[in-house]
Amino acid sequence: MKINLRDKYLSKPRYDRYLLAGRNDHERAGNLYHANIALSKAFHPLISQFEVVLRNSIDSILRELFMDRNWIINEKLGFMSDESLRKSNFYLRKCVEAVENKSRKARLPITNAKIVSDQTFGFWTAIFEPAHYRLLQGQPIKVFKHKPSIENRASIYGRLEMIRNFRNRVNHCEPLCFHANHIDCSHALAMRINLYKMIEWIDPELFPFFAGIDNVEESIDQLLDV
């Protein structure tokens, strides 16, 4: 990419970090930028499929809790409207209503499956916030039925938040390969380990599926060779 186009559309400050890490070698900086995009691409299937597993697992637990396969629609006027959630501006309810309104505008049927599948990672992470978790009688923790006993709501929530924040960086191809101004993928590797822990805690039998779509380590090796 021409320098004027790069600085205009990718932004000079964004690219300069790669240039600094590449010791002012423009070719190396460009290769490193592309390698970071490849690393983001490698993480995407792991995170997206984890999100699918998480949301479907929570959906299953809450169907059982409410004895209602349409809980996500019907609980807008149930626990999602509890007065204790006013401080959060009834976040879960607003998320559900937003998807319903979008479906109406598109003239699509409003179904539990549609509402569940269209919720963001933030919605499912918020289930483990204290106020929601209390209203759900602590049932969401059952999703992680193979977790160590030391892990609790707070630690699970913390791990999910780390994945959510990392997911946002992946989706925007933000730098995953730096510590300060040095090339370092230790944080990315730690996030991969965290993902696999969470997957294993849901169901160890999921491990082969995720391993089959995982080329993060290969992408990191290629990046470190730049």
What CA–CA distance (Å, rounded) separates 17 from 24?
Answer: 10
How many Cβ atoms from other residues are within 10 Å of residue 188's Cβ? 25
Q: How far apart are CA 215 and CA 210, in angstroms?
A: 10
pLDDT in tens, 57-94: 999 999 999 999 999 999 999 999 999 999 999 999 99
At 106 the three-state DSSP class reads coil
pTM for the predicted model, two decimal places: 0.92
AA identity, residue 47? I
CB atoms within 10 A of CB 13: 8
Closest Cα to residue 223, out of 192, 185, 168? 185
| Side-chain half-sphere CA neighbours of 16 within 13 A | 5
- The pLDDT tens digits along the chain (226 residues) read 777 887 778 788 888 889 998 888 989 999 999 999 999 999 999 999 999 999 999 999 999 999 999 999 999 999 999 999 999 999 999 999 999 999 999 999 999 999 999 999 999 999 999 999 999 999 999 999 999 999 999 999 999 999 999 999 999 999 999 998 889 999 999 999 999 999 999 999 999 999 999 999 999 999 999 9
